[in-house]
Structures are given as structure tokens and as C-alpha cells.
Amino acid sequence: MPQGEMERTMRKAPLYEALQKYCKKDIYPFHMPGHKQGRGLVLPHLLQMDLTELEGLDNLHHSTEVIREAQVLAAKTFGSEETYFLVNGSTAGIMAAILTVCNPGDVLITARNCHRAVYNGMIMSGSEPVYILPEMIQPYGLVGGITPATVKKALDQYPMAKAVIITSPTYEGFTSHIEEIVTIAHERNCIVIVDEAHGAHFRFSEEFPKSALEAGADLVIQSIHKTLPSLTQSAMLHVQGDKVCRDRLQQMLSMVQTTSPSYLLMAGLDVCRAMLDECGEEMFAQYVKKLSRFRGDLENTQVCKLLGRELVKQYGIYEVDISKLVLYIHSTVSGVSIDRMLRQQYGIQMEMSSFHHLIGITSVADEEQGFERLRRAIKELDKSLPVYKSQKPFQTYNMPMPTCKVTPREAQFSSKKSIKLSQSEKQTVGEFVIPYPPGIPLLCPGEEITREIIVEIQAYKSAGIKVVGMKDPIGETIQVLERLYA
């Protein structure tokens, strides 16, 4: 049956229909994935290439032929000793990294602003977190970087720690001083894992921060699909040095990734790499010019302030990724509401909105007309939005150190019950509470619920910001531990 006729006779397919409807709208994507709805990635004969482990096509979990060759080429392009393709996103790479370096009971120095995948990795491995806190950007209510001094203090207190895991860059594009952190950790024979999901593009222009691989990290995970032209879920794990057992790493990767890996995702990674090799220098030169013009045109906005390199060497921030468009909203109108205005009035979809911020993700695939559309929108909104005339209410914003009553693994496998969120103070939480995006947990299983956290969860819900991980989608109840597993 011809495709057109098949679509006309097909019964209701709600997801497919919603995608079709969305794609017909004139909405410019300042969000992931980095290929920007096909603008930067060419994969002809897409459906015919949705194949499996056939003769001549190799096997991801035992690659000796074309997949192996593609990974070797990727390692050279991204500056790694060895690279592994990930078809379950950076999530799989992060979990595999933790499972590789940590045994049950091992201490993992963990940046508190890590992605949920880190906590899932701890649950699976049985490792125990020692949290370190990022610095806070008090004027803007954002999370900055992890200082080397903070890492040193943690390692001095826990010299038996197997590894340090840090997110750099953050969702907002702020990096920590990875090179100095690596030096401190390696002096103590400690492995450094960097979640560089949002920094896959760093290597391709000097205008971007130094990559964690260049800074000497042992294991680096990159979401190629986030900031480069590649398909959603496609990522890479890079390894270098002699501190990581490569055989164990491959075993752990085979545990956390599907046994039916998508050849489309792997082909997308391969094509993206080939494109970077062949014309990446020119592409990134033009991309940086677009970013520089865009930022220059918005230097004097007051209500919609575009943050950038003025934050360097403050708040634990070593460098700033100028490709991330972080807008601080100094208005009585919330970032969530402005996000809606951009979508409905200007045909622009941003990556994320919160009370006081908007984030747009750009990539080498973005077009000048997209930047121009956003430039015009921000300038018009900057003139029309009411300004917040006093200090913002989060001037004392902070990320409190969580009180861990039991390990994440113990909490995950314990019996739980649901109680009213308003009555949960001092209880031990049995589920994740994660404002999304960016996916940084507000609460992890095993931590104490405080009055401040209850208020924050309620505020997120009232503002219409998604909170995932909770069994109750409305957020009126929360899972707490009833008794520990035996």
C-alpha cells in the first residue's frame, strides 16, 4: 500500500499525529537535538538503513569491523584514546562509568548538581555518595562550578574515594577547572569522571571552553545529539589513561545498553564525525561569527539579560560556553510566561524556562534567520516587559547539603508509602524529585525532606514547571520509606 494511502486509512496514532502536527508549525528550535530538525544532518535512505547485526555490519558489543573503525575515527576526532558509541544516550555512559570504577560500598565524590543518571549509577553499583556543592551565582539564582578547593577538601576527608564525578559544563554552559581537579584527584590515585553531555562541541573552536579530555579527565561522556548534528540518544563515552580497566568498561556498557542497538543512531554519529573532519573548521568559524553578532546585538538589554563571559573566574566558573543562551529575566513576568510568548507570538521554542530564566541551545546547524528571529523577539520584549524594580526574592538562593539517612541503593529497594507532601517534613524520601529540565534532583532516595524543599516543590508545581520522578503526577503526595529492606 502506498504511504499516502496508508496514512489516510491508519487508525488513530496519537504520538505520530502530534509529531506531524508540530512539524507543520513555523517554530524555530532553540533546543535539542543539535541537528535542528534536520537542518544540519543528512541521512538519505534513512528507513532502509534501520538494520541489525548482519554480515558486514559488525556488532556494537563486540566490534571488530566497521563499528570498530568508526569508533577509532571518532576517538581521533574528539581527542580520546578510545571511544565507544552510546545508543542509550549519555545516561548509559554515565552509569557504565560508575559501574566500571565503583564496587558496592565504594565512596564516590559526587557533585550535587549531577544528572539523575549519576544517582541511578550509584543505586546500581552500590557506591556511596559524598556530596560536594557547586558555588552559587547569587545575583542570578543559578548554579556555578565546583572549585578545586572543594574537591581537595572532600578527598582529604575521604582519601579512600574511588572517583570524583562532576558535571562540566552545567546545563547553563558553566565549566569547572577540570585540569586542576584532575591534578588533585590523580595525586590521590582517584579517577575523574566528567559528565560533559553539553560540551561535545568544545574541541572544534577556540572560542569554546577546553574539553575535559584536553584537561586530562579519565572518563568523559558526551551527548553528541545535544550540541552537534546527530540523532537523539546518540552519544559517546571517551576513555584515556591507565586508571580505567577497559575490559570492565566494555562489560558494563553491554549491561546498560540494548542488545539491539540502532544502526541509525550509530550511522548518525559516524556521519556527524565525518562532517566535522571534512568541513568542521569552516562550519564552526561561521557559527562563532553568528554567535558573536547575536551576543553583540543584545549587550545592552536590561529586562532580558543575556549572561556570558562576565561570569568567568567567579562562582567556581572557569570558562563559559557562549553557545548557551542563558537569559536572566528581570521582570515581574516569569520566564515560563515569556517562554509561552516566544512560542505563540514569535514562533520560537526555547530549551527551558524557569521562574527567572530562559535557556536556548544553539548548534553549528542553526541558521541566521533563527538568530534574527530570536534577536528581534528579545529586543521587543525587553522594551515592553515590566521591570522588577526591587531585588529578586532569591538573593539568598542556595543549594543545601542534603541529609542522607540511608544510601540511594538502600532507599531504592526499601518498602515505601505515600503521604501528603505538606506533612512529609523530616521523613526519608523514597523517590526522586527532579525539576525537569535540566534533570538535577532536588531530592534523591534516602534523603531527609525539609520544610524548605516542600515549599520549593510546591512552587515548581504552581509555576507549571515539570517535576518528574514522583509517583503522584499532581505532586500532592510523596513516597517516603516505610521500612528498610532486609
Residues 225, 307 within the same domain:
no
> How high is the pLDDT of residue 344?
97
Classify residue 400: in a domain, yes or no: no
Residues 233, 360 within the same domain:
no
210-220 confidence digits (pLDDT tens):
999 999 999 99
Residues 444, 308 within the same domain:
no
Instruction: Please give the residue range of the domain that contains residue 304.
Output: 295-384
418-443 confidence digits (pLDDT tens):
999 999 999 999 999 988 766 678 89
Residues 180, 67 within the same domain:
yes
- CATH value at residue 427: 3.90.100.10
- CATH value at residue 191: 3.40.640.10
Classify residue 146: in a domain, yes or no: yes
Classify residue 436: in a domain, yes or no: yes
Q: pLDDT-based confidence at 485, cuts 50/70/90? A: low
> How high is the pLDDT of residue 354?
86
- In degrees, to the nearest 5, what angle opens at C-alpha 129 toward C-alphas 124 and 134? 125
Residues 157, 306 within the same domain:
no
Classify residue 237: in a domain, yes or no: yes
280-330 confidence digits (pLDDT tens):
999 999 999 999 999 999 999 999 999 999 999 999 999 999 999 999 999
For residue 71, give the nearest of 284, 255, 246 by alpha carbon: 246
Classify residue 51: in a domain, yes or no: yes
Asked if 443 and 432 touch (Cβ cutoff 8 Å), the reply is: yes
Residues 107, 213 within the same domain:
yes
Residues 266, 319 within the same domain:
no
Classify residue 11: in a domain, yes or no: no
For residue 102, give the nearest of 85, 124, 80, 83 by alpha carbon: 124
Residues 111, 241 within the same domain:
yes
Residues 203, 91 within the same domain:
yes
Contacting residues for 145 by C-beta, under 8 A, at least 6 apart: 134, 135, 168, 170, 174, 175, 176, 177, 315, 316, 317, 318
Number of domains in the chain: 3
For the chain, the average pLDDT equals: 93
- Strand (E) or helix (H) holding 165: strand 163-167
Q: pLDDT-based confidence at 400, cuts 50/70/90? A: confident
Single pTM value for the model: 0.94
Residues 359, 424 within the same domain:
no
Mean per-residue pLDDT, 321-348: 95
Residues 412, 367 within the same domain:
no
Residues 365, 422 within the same domain:
no
DSSP 3-state of 325: strand
Classify residue 398: in a domain, yes or no: no
Classify residue 83: in a domain, yes or no: yes
